[in-house]
Amino acid sequence: MTKSNQKFVLLLLGIVFLLGCFSCVYADLISVPEKDTRIASIEELFEVDTHLHIEGKAIEKTIEVNMGDGSGVKYYTAKTDYLYRLSIPTRDGYIFRGWDFDGKKVCNGWLMNSDGSVAEVGDYLDGKSLPKSITALWIMAGTKYTITIDSQKWGEVSPNGKVQVEAGENLEFTIKSDYLAEVMYDNKVLYQEEDGSYIIRNITKNGTVDVTYYDTENFDQVFELVSSYTPTNGAIANGIVILEFNYNNDGETPNGRYTSSYYRKYKVLPQTREGYTFIGWKDANDKIFKVGDTIDISPNKRIAGGPFIAQWKIKAVSNFRDVDTDDWFFDNVNYVVDKGLFKGVTDDEFAPNGSLTRGMLVTVLYRYAEAKTTKKSKFADVDENMYYSSPIAWASEKGIVNGVGDNKFDPEVSITRQDLVTILYRFAKTQKISISKKKDLSSFEDKNEVAEYAKDAIQWAIGSGVMNGRTKDTIAPTGTATRAETAAMMQRLSELKK
C-alpha cells in the first residue's frame, strides 16, 4: 500500500470515528426515558375500602398511570373484586384538578367512569371499572379564575359581580331574597349549607353562578294548596320543583314562574281570558290538568317540565245552551256563527242536531261568498219575501243549484248529505277551490246508495277532508244533513281556500 493510500485510509477511519462520537452525543440529547415497567399494586395510589363478592373469578388488570409530573408512566395492578377509594395526590407548586380516565377529561374534580356515570375524588370505584389509562391533571398554584355572580334582581348577593379565586380554593357567597328559586353552577344545583350560604368547591376554571327567582305574588291564582303530607315510606326529598306557566298559549313565553316543595297537593283553579274559556294546563307530556284536578308534587309523581301551556277555547259568539265546549262540533259552530254564516234557531239555541233545509244551505253559501243581488228567485215555490229568495236566485244564476223539476226548488225540504255535498262541490268551483283530490268509495258499506249525480262530489268531499263518513264504514248519502255537520263542512271548506 502506498503512503498516499495509507493516509486516505487513516482519514476515512478518522471520519467514521468522529461520526460515531457525534451520533452518541446526539442520541443522548434526543433520547426519551423508557417507560417504567415496574408493576406495583394500585393500592399505592388508591386506598382499598372493601373486598367485594362478585360472580365468576376475580382477576388482576394492569393500569397505566401517568402522574403528570414528568416522572413518566408507571404500571399498577388492580383487582376486580376490590373497591378502591379515589385519592388526591400532591405536587409542589400545583393544585390537583382531578384524573383523566382513558382520555375523558375531568373538570372541577369530577371523574367520568367507563359506564358513563360520574364519580368525584374521594368516591369509590371498583377495580373492574378502573380504566386502562389514568393521568393526573394539575393546575399551577397561584392561577386565578373569575366567577361571575351578578344576579341581584330580587335579592341581595354577596359577594357580587366578578370574583377572583385562586385555583383549588373555594368560593362562599350568600343570597338574601324572598323570591329565590334555584342556584346553579356548572349546570349543577348548589344547595344551601347549614349556615344558609352557598359554596363552590375546588375551583379550577372560570364560571358563572345562575340564580333563578320566582314570583309568589299570584301563585294562589293558579293553584289552591289542598294538603302537605309525609310519604308512607318515610323518605325525605329536599329541594323544589319549578313550575312555569304560559297563559297566552303561544308555546314560547312563560309569564308565570313559581316553585313548590315536594309532598304537596294542589287543585287547579279556573283562569279568565276575554273571549275564551279555560280548559286546563297542558304539561310537556301533553297531559291536561283540568279545573278541579289535583296535581301531586313528589319525586315519584313528578309532573313533566314546563312550561305548562294554558289551553283555551274561543267562547261562542252566542251562548247557545245546546252547544257545550266538550261537543265535537263546538269549534265548528263557533266558527260559522262568528263569520255570520249561521244564526241560532232562537237566541239561545243552535239546534246542532236539527236538519238543514235547502233554502238555509243556499243562504249560508250566499253569506260566505259575500254575494250581493237584488234579484228574486223565479222558482214557483220560493216566496220572494223570504230570506232565501235572493240567495236562491244568485245560486241558480251561478249554476250552484238546480230546481227539483216543475219549476220548483223545495226550499223548506231538509237536504240530504249527498245533495249538500253536491252543492258544495259546485260552489267550490266558483270559489276557485281545488276539486282535484278525490278518494275511492269502495271501503264504505253503503257506497252503492250514492246517487250517480253525487259520486264525483262525494269522492272529492271525502278525499279533500271536507266530509267524513257518518260512521267509520258508512257515508249515509241519503241521510238528512244536520246543522252541526254542515257547520263542520263549511269550516273545512274555508280552510281549503287558504
Is 32 inside any structural domain? no
* Pair 340, 428 in one domain: yes
Helix (H) or strand (E) holding 394: helix 389-397
* Pair 345, 439 in one domain: yes
pLDDT for the residue numbered 234: 55
Residue in the structure block whose three cell numbers are 423508557: 34
Instruction: State the Cα–Cα distance between residues 125 and 118, nearest whole angstrom.
Output: 10
pLDDT for the residue numbered 395: 95
* Pair 119, 150 in one domain: no
Residue (of 245, 319, 252) closest to 283 by Cα position? 245
Residue in the structure block whose three cell numbers are 220548483: 408
Instruction: State the Cα–Cα distance between residues 466 and 161, nearest whole angstrom.
Output: 62
Residue in the structure block whose three cell numbers are 377495580: 127
pLDDT for the residue numbered 114: 39
Instruction: State the Cα–Cα distance between residues 403 and 425, nearest whole angstrom.
Output: 16
Largest distance between two CA atoms of the chain: 147
* Pair 111, 254 in one domain: no
Residue (of 273, 272, 274, 267) closest to 289 by Cα position? 267
DSSP 332: H
* Pair 346, 477 in one domain: yes
Is 122 inside any structural domain? yes
Residue in the structure block whose three cell numbers are 368560593: 171
Is 180 inside any structural domain? yes
Cβ neighbours, 10 Å, residue 480? 16
* Pair 44, 78 in one domain: yes
Is 6 inside any structural domain? no
Q: Is the pTM of this model over 0.85?
A: no
Instruction: State the Cα–Cα distance between residues 399 and 395, nearest whole angstrom.
Output: 6
HSE-CB at 420 with a 13 A cutoff on CA atoms is 33
Q: Which of 178, 196, 213 is the last residue of a domain?
A: 213
Is 29 inside any structural domain? no
Helix (H) or strand (E) holding 165: strand 161-166
* Pair 181, 306 in one domain: no
* Pair 125, 43 in one domain: yes
Instruction: State the Cα–Cα distance between residues 73 and 167, nearest whole angstrom.
Output: 26
DSSP 242: E
Residue in the structure block whose three cell numbers are 303530607: 229
First to last CA, the chain: 110
pLDDT less than 70: residues of the chain: 1-38, 54, 103-125, 127, 150-154, 178-179, 213-221, 231-244, 247-261, 299-307, 315-318, 498
Cβ neighbours, 10 Å, residue 340? 12
Helix (H) or strand (E) holding 417: helix 417-430
Instruction: State the Cα–Cα distance between residues 52 and 129, nearest whole angstrom.
Output: 13
Backbone angles phi, psi at 424, to 5 degrees: -65, -35
Give burial (CB, 10 Å; 0-12/13-18/19+) of 64: middle
* Pair 401, 484 in one domain: yes
SS3 of residue 50 by DSSP? strand
Residues 273-298 pLDDT 10s: 777 778 888 887 788 888 889 888 77
Instruction: State the Cα–Cα distance between residues 304 and 284, nearest whole angstrom.
Output: 5
Residues 94-131 pLDDT 10s: 888 777 877 665 433 334 443 433 444 445 667 677 78
pLDDT for the residue numbered 152: 59
* Pair 300, 242 in one domain: yes
Q: Which of 140, 160, 187 is the last residue of a domain?
A: 140
* Pair 360, 452 in one domain: yes
Q: Which of 102, 122, 140 is the last residue of a domain?
A: 140
SS3 of residue 251 by DSSP? coil
Is 16 inside any structural domain? no
Backbone angles phi, psi at 290, to 5 degrees: -85, 165
* Pair 455, 489 in one domain: yes
Residues 213, 179 contacting (CB under 8 angstroms): yes
Report how many domains make up the chain: 4
Which residue range forms the structural domain that includes residue 286? 219-314
Is 3 inside any structural domain? no
Bridge partners, residue 241, by sequence: 260
